[in-house]
Chains A and B, each alone.
Chain A
Amino acid sequence: MKSVGVFKKDWASELRTRYAINALAMFILVTISVILFSVGQETLSGELTGGLLWVVIFFSAMSGLSRGFVSEEERGTTLTLHLIAKPSTIFTGKFLFNLLLVFIMNIVIFFLFLAFFDSFVIENGLIITLAFLFGNIGIAVSSTIIAAIISKANTKGTLYPVLSFPILLPLILILIELTNFAIVGTTLDEAFVDIAILIIYDIIMITASYMLFDFIWND
């Protein structure tokens, strides 16, 4: 429940300051517009739009999900958090906040793709649902721990995508694969291995993040 308090505080703060929401909204709009302008009258294949979907999601995550820790560090409120909660409480609260942002962001991107790209048609809804569910958890937990790591650095903006790339790459590759399966209509049995890898990735990242966060949080 304490971590829900951190989440509620962050969400209320976000609604007033719009640090992350504005960055995410602008990035999503601009990126999808650029893709649409550059594609013009060309018809993209379903697989290509599936890949583009996760490229947009990856870079959108890079533009907004670091705010949880970075804004605390920039405002100088990190010390206040140290004085009111255990590290695991803080991490869980920030993770929940990023999870909500990722879900909102990805749902918006997904429906924009459905609206603007004719070839983006989902044949197997269950696969894409599972990919979104576990993919969002993976993106949220990875981006939260990386945000905690980079929040004390001077070059936060550069460091965030640089550190995120190798950590999120395996996740994004699996998600692209699963999205393609969902587009071509592969059965769930055939996609089982990829979904299992996705779940294992989430478990590893959550476990590693909780183990690492104490060291990151306590200087």
Chain B
Amino acid sequence: MNNFSVELNNVTKFFGRLLVFKNINYSFTSGKVYGITGRNGSGKSTVSRIICGISSASKGKIIYSHNGTEVPREAVYSHVGFVAPYLVLYGEFTALENLSYFAEIRGTEFDEERAKFWLNEFELYKRRNDLLKGFSSGMQQRMKFIFALIHNPDFFILDEPTSNLDVAGKNKVYEIIEKTAREKLIIVASNEESDLELCSEFLNVEEFKAVR
């Protein structure tokens, strides 16, 4: 089993002079599903972006560890699978082209069979050669899951993972989370009760809010 952990040490975030959260100390480890909770605007997405290395914390440190070896922040991208409503894939490319370019930029061989498998799992196989700009918002959300899964990452950050998805799409996501959680680290940031049902531990961002 790949053991991946993320440790937040006194992580604080300001936007200008606005304090979003202060001194978050928390550890995430493989084999569990964690929930990040909090009201709208509490900083769930911000902490998610900081954890996956695409935003910086104003203060504090994040330590990533893969099988006991520290992973530098600039290399975290190769370990993470990220899904969020604000993630945008390339509309001018087809589903398969998107996945092919991502593989090439990641420096990995494009596994077309694996791509077709996930496209089939998310019921997008028939649309594999269609431009993404013609996809509905639900289909684009499904594509984001394929984008997150295709390189077999060690941990997942799912920010509002079921937004725009229909019942079948939601069930597919829950099924994948349940299967993957046995050996990977999964962090779900959401307000949807059904999204959080699979989580065993919770980080409530609102507990780390303080008036400056």
Closest residue of chain A to B87, judged by CB? A79
What string of 1s and 0s marks CB contacts (under 8 Å) between A185-197 and chain B? 0000000000000
CB-CB contacts below 8 Å: B54-94 with A: 54-56, 74-75, 77, 80, 82, 84, 86-93
Contact check, A80 vs B89: say whether CB atoms are below 8 A apart: yes
Take A82-B54, A85-B77, A219-B56 as given contacts and tell me if A77 and B89 are in contact as well, using a CB distance cutoff of 8 Å: yes
Take A5-B105, A8-B104, A9-B105 as given contacts and tell me if A82 and B89 are in contact as well, using a CB distance cutoff of 8 Å: no
Instruction: Check if B107 is an interface residue, CB within 8 A of chain A.
Output: yes
Contact check, B82 vs A83: say whether CB atoms are below 8 A apart: yes
Contact check, B56 vs A76: say whether CB atoms are below 8 A apart: no
CA distance A82 to B80 in the complex (A): 11
Closest residue of chain B to A1, judged by CB? B107
Total A-B residue pairs with C-beta atoms closer than 8 Å?
A: 73
Take A2-B104, A2-B106, A8-B101 as given contacts and tell me if A75 and B91 are in contact as well, using a CB distance cutoff of 8 Å: yes
| Interface stretch of the complex, out of A10-18, A96-104, A152-160, A171-179 | A10-18
Contact check, B52 vs A83: say whether CB atoms are below 8 A apart: yes
CB-CB contacts below 8 Å: B88-117 with A: 88-93, 97, 101-102, 104-107
Contact check, B105 vs A2: say whether CB atoms are below 8 A apart: yes
Interface of A is mostly: helix
Q: Which of A9, A79, A81, A218 contacts B56 (CB 8 A)?
A: A218
Shortest B86–chain A CB gap in Å is 7
CA distance A16 to B89 in the complex (A): 15
Instruction: Check if A6 is an interface residue, CB within 8 A of chain B.
Output: yes
Contact check, A5 vs B104: say whether CB atoms are below 8 A apart: yes
Instruction: Check if A89 is an interface residue, CB within 8 A of chain B.
Output: yes
Q: Which residues of B contact A80 (CB under 8 A)?
A: 87-90, 147
Interface size class of B (residues with CB under 8 A): 20 to 34
Closest residue of chain B to A2, judged by CB? B107
Q: Which residues of A contact B89 (CB under 8 A)?
A: 77, 80
Shortest B76–chain A CB gap in Å is 10
Contact check, A75 vs B88: say whether CB atoms are below 8 A apart: yes
* Chain B residues with a Cβ under 8 A of chain A: 52-56, 74-75, 77, 80, 82, 84, 86-93, 97, 101-102, 104-107, 147
* Chain A residues with a Cβ under 8 A of chain B: 1-2, 4-6, 8-9, 12-13, 16-17, 75-77, 79-87, 89, 93, 214, 218-219
28 pairs from A and B in contact (CB 8 Å cutoff) = A2-B107, A4-B104, A5-B105, A5-B106, A8-B101, A8-B104, A9-B101, A12-B97, A12-B101, A13-B92, A13-B93, A17-B92, A75-B90, A76-B88, A77-B89, A79-B86, A82-B54, A83-B52, A83-B77, A83-B80, A83-B87, A84-B105, A84-B106, A85-B77, A86-B74, A93-B105, A214-B74, A219-B55
